[in-house]
Amino acid sequence: MIADPWTEAHVRPLWEIPQAHSDAHPEHRATLWPWRTMRPLVDRACDLASPAVAERRVLSLIAPDAAPGQFHTITNLNAGLQIILPGEVARPHRHSMDALRFVLDGDGAVTRVDGTDAPMMRGDLVLTPGWSWHEHWHDGDAPIVWLDVLNVHTHLNLDTFRFEPGPPRDVPAPVPGAMLRYPLAEMQRTLAGMPPGPDGSRRARYVNPLTGGPVMPLLDCWMLRLEAGVRTVPFLTSAHAICTVVSGRGTTGIGTGGVSWETNDIFTLPHDTWIAHRADETSELCIVSDREVYRRLDLLTERYDES
């Protein structure tokens, strides 16, 4: 058999690659993980796994269209539900990926980040910046569940994924003025004083006080308050996002589809897709985005529907 000279030389003619000169792409769709579905799975995970054996007890939220071997929640972002029972400890490790934790249910846990302790209460946002040592333990009296969001696939695509197990070493000194914990009550007070934005929602950004920018260099995060009956102006962005329902009920139109949501539900917001929220009652949404990646690369596009 005569070998194909292209294959043998590890080349392929560009004119034989359909994607090379086409901007056609499938419609981006959202994925919803309802809390009423996830809560029984959380209980099952507690029966099957322990952080004493597994590195973390986490249920990864994986996009239905993820290719074999892929485990992203949406393109550059990975999310999962982490569960710790009273008395348990999740041992220290560190990795190049940035990670944040948004507490969905329970309280009484603590995250230690490079020697600094951050209590965890429902609705709190806790940061573990890339390459910081972090561990968790739980002194409460009931399970605690939080949403992990990490930029794993950003680092996989850049070949900068790194992981190191504990025990901690070379722990840096605390940075004066740095924030690791953003309590829910403070964000709610901030939201109450915010005027409606261009889309009709009240919006408060989680900000790094040392820079005035996003909470972490490649992860942006904010909270929205939606008044009952108000539909936001459709918004389109080149960034991807993961949305957590802090409280309330409503619907989100996403392209030609959409999702109905209630407290503790999690859903994705695809890029380059018109998105509009409508609350059936006063609601709060926490949104985590890879927006900063696109902004830094000068690839960010955002606009409101002016029709």
Which pLDDT tens digit goes with each residue over 30-77? 999 999 999 999 999 999 998 888 889 999 999 998 888 788 999 999
pLDDT score for 222: 96
Q: How confident is the model at residue 25 (pLDDT cuts 50, 70, 90)?
A: low
Q: Does residue 29 surpass a pLDDT of 90?
A: no
Region 199-210: what's the mean pLDDT? 95
Query: What are the sequence ranges of the domains in the chain?
Result: 30-304
Q: pTM of the predicted model, to two decimals?
A: 0.93
Q: How confident is the model at residue 5 (pLDDT cuts 50, 70, 90)?
A: confident
Q: How confident is the model at residue 16 (pLDDT cuts 50, 70, 90)?
A: confident
Which pLDDT tens digit goes with each residue over 220-262? 999 999 999 999 999 999 999 999 999 999 999 999 999 999 9
HEC sequence for 15-65:
HHCHHHHCCCCCCCCCCEECHHHHHHHHHHHHHHCCCCCCCCCEEEECCCC
| Superfamily for domain range 30-304 | Jelly Rolls (2.60.120.10)
Q: Does residue 117 surpass a pLDDT of 70?
A: yes
Tokens of 17: 């690659």
pLDDT score for 15: 85
Q: Does residue 1 surpass a pLDDT of 60?
A: no
Q: Does residue 8 surpass a pLDDT of 90?
A: no
Q: For residue 193, how many other CB atoms are within 10 A of its CB?
A: 8
Query: CA-CA distance, 98 to 214, in Å (whole number)?
Result: 12
Which pLDDT tens digit goes with each residue over 264-283? 999 999 999 999 999 999 99
Write the single-letter amino acid at 90.
A
pLDDT over 90, % of the chain: 83
